[in-house]
Amino acid sequence: MSQQAHPHEAAEPETPHLDFAGTTPYEDYVRADLLTHLQHTLSDDPGEMVFLVTTQVMELWFTVLVHEWETAAKALRSDDVPTAIAALKRSVRELEALNASWTPLAALTPAQFNSYRGALGEGSGFQSAMYRRLEFLLGDKSASMLVPHRGAPRAHAELEKALHEPSLYDEVLRLLARRGHAVPDAVLERDVSQRYEPDQAVEQVWAAVYSGEQDGELVRLGEALTDVAELVWRWRNDHLVATRRAMGAKAGTGGSAGVAWLEKRARKNVFPELWTARSHV
Ligand code: HEM
């Protein structure tokens, strides 16, 4: 065979470009220089770096999840269920990656955690504004959760907006009503800045949906939401177990009772009727 037939076999592969007038296009896009210089540890303990970076990695995943669930909520508002399901399915993979990032912190001993715990002062993940937006999207609204963010205008404004917007679940229930399901007016017209409380009629709606066409759009939506709910519950439980291993029953740096408080939080079901309806199908 002639060389002309396979010119790529004869020539050396091109090497990447090295010369750029300013910063690299990679840097301009990823902002890696900024991102990799945000690791300001507070102690001399070498184990603190992975604690800080894991926390930062989780903040980035929270940001992606908020984006996906806002995309899903917006799509539902305009009756575009396929776009909503696609965003929810992406978020399921992202939740799996988020949960996998517990690994480096999952088995800290109390002595290891104590080596830098004091340096954290009153700092706690409880004060994460992005996690709070995530909870708000799931329906766990609470105006008092804005209080810690009074000193951070952008985070406060974003949270306040999210507080007064319908959650992802509110949008799902409104869609079910538009599809002819008997979602009560009291649910559809509820004050969306309040925590969503489970409703028996909504449970019946989901039971009816799940008794119908199994590969119908609404069952597929329900299952994508159930995957999300399960993985959020897993994040809470992995957090709970990591905390129990690292500090037993001591009080949290954020001022709570620690494990006992987290146990109460982890008991709450995300999208409650999607779980309870299963007893009636
Ligand atoms: C093993 C290390 C960790 C321990 C011992 C721990 C401990 C705790 C404790 C005791 C609380 C209750 C509030 C308080 O009094 O502070 C809490 C809340 C919280 N932590 Fe952690 N945590 C750990 C790692 C993380 C990481 C890596 C993240 C990622 C951002 C995180 C995010 C959160 C969030 C979002 C809350 C609030 C949960 C809610 O509002 O339901 N934690 N943590």
Which three-class secondary structure state does DSSP give residue 11?
Answer: coil
Distance from Cα 232 to the centre of ligand 1, integer Å: 14
Pocket of ligand 1 (CB under 6 A): 54-55, 58-59, 105, 108, 124-126, 128, 131, 239, 242-243, 246-247, 252-256, 258, 261-262, 265
Which ligand 1 atom is nearest residue 54's CA?
27
Distance 222 CA to ligand 1 centre (A): 29
Q: Who's near 90: CB < 8 A, 6+ residues apart?
A: 68
Contact 143, 159 (CB under 8 A): no
State which CATH number among 3.40.50.800, 3.30.70.1060, 3.40.50.2300, 1.20.58.480 fits the domain covering 16-280: 1.20.58.480
Per-residue pLDDT of the chain (281 residues; tens, 9 = 90+): 444 555 556 689 999 999 999 999 999 999 999 999 999 999 999 999 999 999 999 999 999 999 999 999 999 999 999 999 999 999 999 999 999 999 999 999 999 999 999 999 999 999 999 999 999 999 999 999 999 999 999 999 999 999 999 999 999 999 999 999 999 999 999 999 999 999 999 999 999 999 999 999 999 999 999 999 999 999 999 999 999 999 999 999 999 999 999 999 999 999 999 999 999 99
Index of the ligand 1 atom closest to the CA of residue 261: 12
Cα(265)–Cα(99) distance, integer angstroms: 17
Q: Is 16 exposed, middle or buried (0-12, 13-18, 19+ CB in 10 A)?
A: exposed
N-to-C CA span, the chain:
67
Phi-psi region of 139 (alpha: psi -120 to 50; beta: other; left: phi over 0): left
Supply 116's token pair.
């830098």
Q: Which of 64, 126, 233 most suits a substitution to test ligand 1, by most atoms within 8 Å of the C-beta? A: 126
What is the rounded distance in angstroms from the CA atom of residue 229 to the CA atom of residue 167? 14
Contact 253, 177 (CB under 8 A): no
Give the H/E segment covering residue 144.
none
CB 204 within 8 A of CB 182: yes
